[in-house]
Amino acid sequence: MTASQDRNVSQALTNETQKVVADFNSLDTDAKLAWFYLVYEKMGDSITPAAPAAAEPNLAPILLNDYLDLSDDEQLAIMRQIVNGEASDYSRAYGALKENNQLLVWYVWAEAMGDQVVDLSEDYETTDKIDNLLSQLEGLDFEAQMSVLRTIASQMGYSDVQPVETQTQTGKTPSL
């Protein structure tokens, strides 16, 4: 687990939600993408309104506009780069966003899947692991679901930004 993943797991407040995050993290890249798609497909009416209402879409034009003009193969490659935290322009743009805006990106992409965004192949079959993880998320209340989704979304993408050391870590008090 990377430092950014370790830092963000604490957002999933309960043992139950932390288990969902850990189970998600155990999936491979394409299974993570499929799970995200299925979350929006199955639970979109309850989950998706929270992201756009709390987000600022103008902060992510490369992800919400330019991305839609790319080929299916390019889009899939970018999704994989973001999930894997690779250092690419799109992954950096995603990593620079706050969690609500990151969820907005997935929301917009989910809404456009099969139209302007690459879709799951028609013969795609989910695994027991993905189905179980979906059931775990569905069994949580709305607040816990959002906690899990924000935590997962925040673990993706690439960022060079390092957390500022605390006074406890440095032993120094801040000065003006």
DSSP the chain: --HHHHHHHTTS-SHHHHHHHHHHHTS-HHHHHHHHHHHHHHHHHHHTTHHHHT--GGG-HHHHTGGGGS-HHHHHHHHHHHHHT--SHHHHHHHTS-HHHHHHHHHHHHHHBTTTB----TT----HHHHHHHHHHHTS-HHHHHHHHHHHHHHSS---PPPPPPHHHH------
pLDDT tens-digit series, residues 41-92:
887 666 655 555 566 767 778 898 899 999 999 999 999 999 999 999 999 9
Asked if 33 contacts 79 with a C-beta cutoff of 8 angstroms, the reply is yes
**Residue 172's pLDDT is what?**
72
Q: How confident is the model at residue 5 (pLDDT cuts 50, 70, 90)?
A: very low
Higher pLDDT, 83 or 160: 83
pLDDT tens-digit series, residues 84-127:
999 999 999 999 998 888 988 888 898 889 899 999 888 889 99
**Average of pLDDT values for 24-42?**
92
Of all residues in the chain, the percent with pLDDT exceeding 70 is 78
Output the pTM of the full model: 0.81
Residues 60, 68, 24, 152, Cα dihedral to 10°: 10
Closest to 159 measured CA to CA, from 87, 99, 100, 68: 87
Pull the structure tokens for residue 46. Answer: 């309850």
pLDDT tens-digit series, residues 122-153:
888 999 999 999 999 999 998 899 889 999 99
Alpha carbon 171 to its chain's center: 34
Pull the structure tokens for residue 109. Answer: 């992409």
